[in-house]
Amino acid sequence: MTPHSPTNPQNVPALNLTQDVAQLTADLLDIYSVSDAEEQIADAVERALGELSHLTVQRHGDTVVARTELGRDERIVLAGHLDTVPLPSTPGARGTVPSEWDQSEGRRVLYGRGATDMKGGVAVQLQLAATLTQPDRDITYVFYDHEEVSSDASGLGKLLEVAPELVTDADFAVLLEPTDGRIEGGCNGTMRFWIHTSGIAAHSGRAWMGENAIHKLGRVLRILEEYAPGSVTVDGLDFREGLNAVQIDGGVAGNVIPDSCNVHINYRFAPDKTLDEATARMRELFEGYELDIVDASPAARPGLDAPLAQELVRSVGADPRPKYGWTDVARFSAMGIPAVNFGPGDALLAHSDNEHVFASEVHNCLNALERWLTS
């Protein structure tokens, strides 16, 4: 890990890590941190954590790692990403930057880009890092960049490549993604691939002289239309799969028979399958077509059979649910570290024009993790 000096130290926001955790969430929201622009928020996190004598702090790129070194028998990772998706383009949208407080049915609610995904979870991490000077378990706090873009850019992924020792000594991990205050075990895997067809261009008035590449995709589209998403039970949780076309491209003009066509397909698969098994399933389903795989990430089993997970379930006090989308718990699972998703906010609000989180949700998440880490 290399030392980092902020480009302009005077512009590094000062974070008060011991104030009300909901207000800390608002302060984080006010720092613009769309993917590729995480340096300022990483500087602020590094600066605030560096002032805490009970932590060792290291940085790689815009990923910040802080660790207690108390010699406890067990070590927990609490991880969260610093970046957000781009700001909403809709005029008057409330899920933007800077943040905005409001009242709803007598509850304080915070609007802003990242309120749900996932500055509330990051605020919880930061407050625990500041206040838990003597936890019953050693804790590794990971704040990483580039989660909201392609997986090969992930700051967590790069950290695990260049300095895995900062994480791999953990016994259990919690990713503070929004889960509406419920534990979500594991995650579906995801795969994106293109299917290409070729034809022969011709004037549409003499179509018999050509071969229509769009028509050649007819069987692919029928397979997608007729596909019935399955529900697969893994370790007591029901994971719903999905297979969908997400993009299509073909044709050059209204009077030309197209000589090429491409369809972009996303497969979400349950954690009963390895990545290789999921790939084999797609090649079988689309037999006769070549799959151009552009992105693939493995699923993660729930990890709820781990004793630390069972203790967390008791601390939260609600039955766990499956995580349908892909999250970085899969990276921990691949290293043999059981991991779950647990954080404040409704994931259905993530990336929306009115992204928001209730102050009470952030408080409840903090209290549950504090009970778990000090019991």
Q: Which residues are catalytic?
A: 83, 147
Contact at 8 Å (CB) between 257 and 263? no
d(CA 210, CA 204): 9
Contacts of 194 (CB under 8 A, 6+ apart): 262, 263, 264, 265, 291, 292, 294
Collapsing DSSP states into helix, strand and coil, what is residue 20?
A: coil
Instruction: Specify the amino acid at residue 359.
Output: A
Sign of the alpha-carbon dihedral angle for 118, 120, 121, 126: positive
DSSP designation for 345: S
266 bridge partner residues: 192, 244
Long-range Cβ pairs for the range 16-20 (8 Å, 24+) = 17/48, 17/52, 17/126, 17/127, 17/129, 17/130, 17/131, 18/127, 18/130, 18/131, 20/359
Closest C-alpha to 175, from 78, 61, 302: 78
Classify 351 in phi/psi space as left (phi over 0), alpha (psi -120 to 50) or beta.
left
